[in-house]
């Protein structure tokens, strides 16, 4: 009798575990979120989704979209997303195949949008728009060192342009209204507030960086053209066009020569990559080393994340360039 009762209890407990597992599975997939490939896109999306749905970021802090490898958990995030937002295949080639499995209405490749496509800058051209025949108008053009290793025709670091970020916010808003029509009013309010805050932040940054517009510097990789063009910064060039490819000896010699000639006051590293090569090049010079974080590592997701990110990047530039 006791053995029979024990078997009945085990059967009931087994069914409870199955039900609990099914319930957990339902809860974990029933509320799918907006997912972005990288943190800066998450900043923009979080401003528009505020009070409507959550945003998740695929790449963890410290990872780079230039060399990331997807994990099974990443594939699950992609599969269950209500909407997946990425830069595009020229930046995040590792996402091309898995995103092809998603319905068109559940994914946005921002660089495929005509409004953004016409504003793309060519790689290695110091900020020449796609449809423009004129070069960047800084008077230091002849001193700039470029690395013409092929890394796509256009600079894909579009989140570093406040103007393109504004367009991206509108694109995301439009798609979310389709996905969540009952939240249209909230989405409209979120877009308006984002636009207002970005306008004010843009003005603040322009004023902040005005005093360092003539200070020359090198950056680690070719990421900042949009930001530099917008705020009239005087970059002398970069160590590498692709951060997963080490700069060659000739490139390092060119940079070292210009540093010895005191043409630059600062060289910027990035937290996603080891700064050993930069430290070696600036050794025994008066050049300062700063750090620029183009991915906003450590900044939490909120309705104000994107403007906080732009402000932080501006402070990173100014703190190194503005020292006496």
CB 281 within 8 A of CB 255: yes
Helix (H, G, I), strand (E, B) or coil at 56: strand
| Residue at 282 is within a domain | yes
Question: Is 186 inside a domain boundary?
Answer: yes
Q: Which domain holds residue 256?
A: 113-321
Residue 53's pLDDT is what? 97
Contact assessment for residue 312 and residue 293, using Cβ atoms and an 8 Å cutoff: yes
The CATH number of the domain where 217 resides is what?
A: 3.40.50.1980
pLDDT recorded at residue 1: 52
pLDDT of residue 290: 95
Q: Tens of pLDDT along the chain (324 residues)?
A: 545 544 554 554 555 554 444 444 334 333 569 999 999 999 999 999 999 999 999 999 878 887 789 999 999 999 999 999 999 999 999 999 999 999 999 999 999 999 999 999 988 644 333 443 333 343 333 344 444 333 568 999 999 999 999 999 999 999 999 999 999 999 999 999 999 999 999 999 999 999 999 999 999 988 999 999 999 999 999 888 777 777 888 989 999 999 999 999 999 999 878 778 899 999 989 999 999 999 999 899 999 999 999 999 999 999 999 975
**Number of domains, the chain:** 1
Strands 216-221 and 154-155: unpaired
Hey, is 199 helix, strand or coil? helix
Closest CA to 147 of 222, 92, 225: 222
């Amino acid at each position: 009798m006791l053995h029979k009762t024990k078997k009945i209890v085990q059967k009931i407990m087994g069914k409870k575990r199955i039900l609990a597992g099914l319930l957990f599975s339902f809860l974990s997939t029933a509320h799918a979120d907006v997912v972005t490939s990288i943190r800066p896109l998450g900043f923009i999306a979080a401003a528009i989704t505020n009070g409507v749905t959550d945003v998740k970021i695929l790449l963890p802090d410290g990872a780079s979209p230039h060399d990331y490898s997807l994990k099974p958990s990443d594939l699950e995030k992609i599969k269950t997303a209500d909407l997946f937002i990425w830069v595009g295949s020229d930046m995040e080639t590792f996402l091309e195949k898995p995103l092809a499995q998603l319905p068109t209405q559940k994914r946005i490749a921002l660089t495929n949008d005509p409004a953004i496509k016409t504003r793309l800058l060519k790689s290695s051209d110091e900020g020449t728009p796609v449809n423009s025949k004129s070069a960047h108008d800084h008077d230091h053009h002849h001193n700039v060192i470029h690395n013409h290793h092929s890394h796509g025709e256009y600079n894909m670091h579009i989140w570093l342009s406040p103007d393109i970020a504004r367009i991206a916010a509108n694109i995301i808003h439009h798609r979310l209204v389709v996905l969540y029509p009952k939240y249209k009013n909230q989405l409209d309010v979120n877009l308006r507030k984002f636009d207002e805050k970005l306008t004010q932040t843009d003005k603040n940054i322009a004023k902040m960086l005005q005093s360092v517009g003539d200070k020359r510097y090198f950056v680690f990789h070719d990421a900042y053209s949009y930001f530099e063009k917008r705020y009239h910064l005087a970059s002398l060039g970069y160590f590498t066009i692709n951060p997963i490819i080490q700069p060659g000896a000739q490139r390092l010699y060119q940079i070292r020569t210009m540093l010895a000639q005191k043409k630059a006051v600062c060289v910027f590293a990035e937290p996603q990559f080891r700064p050993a090569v930069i430290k070696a090049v600036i050794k025994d010079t008066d050049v300062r080393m700063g750090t620029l974080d183009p991915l906003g590592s450590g900044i939490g997701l909120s309705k104000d994340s994107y403007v906080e990110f732009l402000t932080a990047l501006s402070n990173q530039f100014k703190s190194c360039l503005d020292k006496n």
